[in-house]
Amino acid sequence: MQGIPLSASIDRMIARALDYKKNPWRDVQAGARKRIGLIFLNPSLRTRLSTQVAAQQLGMEAIVFNIGSEGWSWELEDGAVMNGTSVEHIRDAVPVLSSYFDVLAIRTFPGLSDREADYAETVLQQFIAYASVPVISLESATLHPLQSLADLITIQELELKRPKIVLCWAPHIKPLPQCVANSFAQWVGAWDRADFVIAQPPGMELSETFTTGAQLVYDKAAALRDADVVYVKNWSAYRSYGAMGTDQDGWMLQPEDMEKTNRAKIMHCLPVRRNIELSDALLDSSSSIVTRQAANRVWAAQAVLSNIIQSL
Chain positions contacting a second copy, by CB under 8 A: 25, 28, 33, 35, 37, 40, 43-46, 48-50, 52-53, 56, 61, 63, 65-66, 69-72, 75, 79-83, 87-89, 91-93, 95-97, 99-100, 173, 270-276, 280, 283-284, 290-292, 294-295, 298
CA 297 and chain centroid, separation? 10
Q: How far is the CB of 281 from a second copy (least distance, A)?
A: 10
The C-alpha angle 138, 144, 147, rounded to 5 degrees, equals 90
According to DSSP H, which parts of 65-171 are helical? 90-100, 115-119, 122-130, 145-157
Q: 141 or 294, CB closer to a second copy? A: 294
Q: 100 or 208, CB closer to a second copy? A: 100
Q: How far is the CB of 189 from a second copy (least distance, A)?
A: 27
Q: 46 or 115, CB closer to a second copy? A: 46
Q: 87 or 312, CB closer to a second copy? A: 87
Q: How far is the CB of 69 from a second copy (least distance, A)?
A: 6
Taking the C-alpha atoms of residue 124 and residue 120, their distance in angstroms, rounded to an integer, is 9
Q: 180 or 223, CB closer to a second copy? A: 180
Q: How far is the CB of 133 from a second copy (least distance, A)?
A: 12
Give the torsion sign (CA, 72, 126, 241, 198).
Answer: negative
Residues in the chain: 312
Taking the C-alpha atoms of residue 103 and residue 1, their distance in angstroms, rounded to an integer, is 12
Q: Which residues pair with 48 in a beta bridge?
A: none
Please confirm whether the linkage preceding 271 is cis (ω < 30° from 0): yes
**Mind giving me the DSSP string for 25-49?**
TTTTTTTTT-EEEEEESS--SHHHH
Q: How far is the CB of 208 from a second copy (least distance, A)?
A: 30
CA atoms within 13 A on the CB side of 267: 29
Q: How far is the CB of 66 from a second copy (least distance, A)?
A: 6
